Amino acid sequence: MSRKNPFPDRERQIGERLRESRTWIKLSRSEFAGQAGLDASLLRSYECARSQLNYSAAYKVIMAFGLNPEWLATGNGRMWLALPIPSPKELNVGVRAPFSKIYEKHLAKVVAEQTKEWESRPPPEQIPLQINAADPRARLMAEAQMVNWLRRLILCLPDSKLEDFLNFLYRLGTRLARSYPADPKGVFEKRTEAMDCARAQMESHKKFQADEQPRKDKLTAILLKKDLTVVSLKSKYASVKSEIQKLIEQVRRKASKPGAKSKLARALGVAPARISEWLSGEKEPGGDYTLRLRNWVEQQERQK
């Protein structure tokens, strides 16, 4: 005989919505609980409606993930809508106060007003973009900002108006773009190549950041070559320092030709001033950039 759930359907539905939000962002229960500052077993009891979701726990989840408090409490509205709500301390409620009751008593009216204000908020008259058109990275930043702006508009538009709006935007934008004097083909192709290069460098940098620790380990193996233990790492710190200095000297010789520093900076995805700081000894490159500098030197050697 199954055990009867002691809580009403409303609490069970809140638990289901809590689980739905976690599933939607593809987080395990432990990951979701960890990011919200909750215990995973307690989160499970909320999702299964074995315990009532208290306001303190709901507040942590709402603030951590931008979950819409109205949707969590009632199922109405959008799932994701970051709205400011008072903390348990500000409301002076106990740690076990049920979220559903606190929402009805203190939040429903405020959240409804905030949602209405958010939905009626007009877009800014002009997106605050300051673009150095000659810099491909600046163009990429402008591209990202426009994509984010359009994404928000698409979310806000009613279904019946989405097609009309996008067709209008496309026609208006195309008409305006065609009214400008066209760049020569060579300028367009050069810009395309520069933006593709900048995009590839940014993606490469992201990948290097994600692989930072494995690459640091590889760098250590290259520089020390032998006796790679925790003890020997500490004892051979001076040796590593010496190896980096030798590498910088090699880079300094290879980059002595006119324009070589700029090419190196583009290859690494850094500002030329960063290269000058490394070569002057003012700063040292991090582990990731040290490995890439070594690869660049080896590539220059092979091109001889």
Q: What per-residue confidence (pLDDT) applies to 217? A: 59
Q: What per-residue confidence (pLDDT) applies to 82? A: 80
Which of 290, 303, 302, 299 has the alpha carbon at shortest distance from 248? 290
CA-angle at 119, arms to 114 and 122, nearest 5° = 115
Q: What per-residue confidence (pLDDT) applies to 1? A: 39
CA-angle at 104, arms to 101 and 108, nearest 5° = 145
CATH of domain 9-120: 1.10.260.40
CA-angle at 264, arms to 263 and 268, nearest 5° = 120
Q: Which two tokens stand for residue 63?
A: 């603030």
CA distance 296 to 240: 19
CA distance 60 to 55: 9
Q: Where are the domains of the chain?
A: 9-120, 123-210, 212-302
Q: What per-residue confidence (pLDDT) applies to 229? A: 47
Q: What per-residue confidence (pLDDT) applies to 3? A: 47
Q: What per-residue confidence (pLDDT) applies to 16? A: 92
Q: What per-residue confidence (pLDDT) applies to 55? A: 93
Written as one letter, the residue type at 269 is: G
Q: What per-residue confidence (pLDDT) applies to 125? A: 53
Q: What per-residue confidence (pLDDT) applies to 213? A: 58
Which of 273, 266, 264, 289 has the alpha carbon at shortest distance from 208? 289
Give 10-residue mean pLDDT values along the chain (304 residues). Answer: 57 90 87 89 90 91 89 89 86 87 90 84 60 76 79 80 84 80 84 78 66 58 49 49 77 79 78 79 74 78 68
Q: What per-residue confidence (pLDDT) applies to 2? A: 42
